[in-house]
Amino acid sequence: MFAELECVVLDCPDPSELAGFYASLLGGEVDRPDRRWACDAEWSTLHTPGGLVLAFQRVAGYRPPRWPGQEMPQQFHLDFGVTDLERAHEEVLAAGASLLGAGDEERGWRVYADPAEHPFCLVGT
C-alpha cells in the first residue's frame, strides 16, 4: 500500500450548502480546520463522526448527473446504511433531498438526489 484515502470530493454549485446537507444526514463538523486544505466559498468539508471526510468543490457551469439515464452519468454514488428506512426517508426529504426512485423495496433501498442532484441511496440495515 502506498496511498491513503484523504477524502471523497463532490463537484457542486454551492459547497457550503451541500456540506450542510450531508451534515444533517451524517452528523459531523462542517469546515473543521485541517492543514490539508483551506475552506472558503470554493471548497467546504464535512468531517464525519466515523472519520471519513467528504469535500465539496464549486464548479462553474456545474451540470448534475441524471439517474438512471446516461446522458449525464452519475459516475459514482454514495450508499448510507440506515436502521429505519421510513424515518430516514422523511429526514432526508426534510433536509432537502429528492426521491429519484423506489430502488428495490423488497431488498430495502431507495435512490435520492442531494441538493446538487448527486444520486445517493439509503439502504436498510
List, for residues 33-45, the tens digit of each pLDDT value: 988 888 999 999 9
Residue 66 belongs to a domain? no
Distance of alpha carbon 34 from alpha carbon 62, whole angstroms = 26
Confidence of residue 3 (pLDDT cuts 50, 70, 90): low
**What is the DSSP secondary-structure string of 67-119?**
SS-SSS-----EEEEES-HHHHHHHHHHHT-EEEEEEETTTTEEEEE-TT--E
* pLDDT at residue 10 tops 80: yes
Q: Please tell me whether residues 54 and 84 are part of one structural domain.
A: no
Interacting residues of 119 by C-beta distance below 8 A, sequence separation 6+: 65, 67, 74, 77, 100, 111, 112, 113
Q: Is residue 52 part of a domain?
A: yes
Q: What is the pLDDT of residues 47-103, one digit of tens each?
A: 999 999 999 999 999 999 888 888 877 777 888 989 998 999 999 999 999 999 777
Mean pLDDT computed over 4-19: 92
Number of domains in the chain: 2
pTM of the model: 0.83
CATH, residue 46: 3.10.180.10
Let me know: does 123 contact 81? Beta carbons within 8 Å.
Answer: yes
Is residue 41 a part of any domain in this protein? Answer: yes
Domain that holds residue 91: 78-124
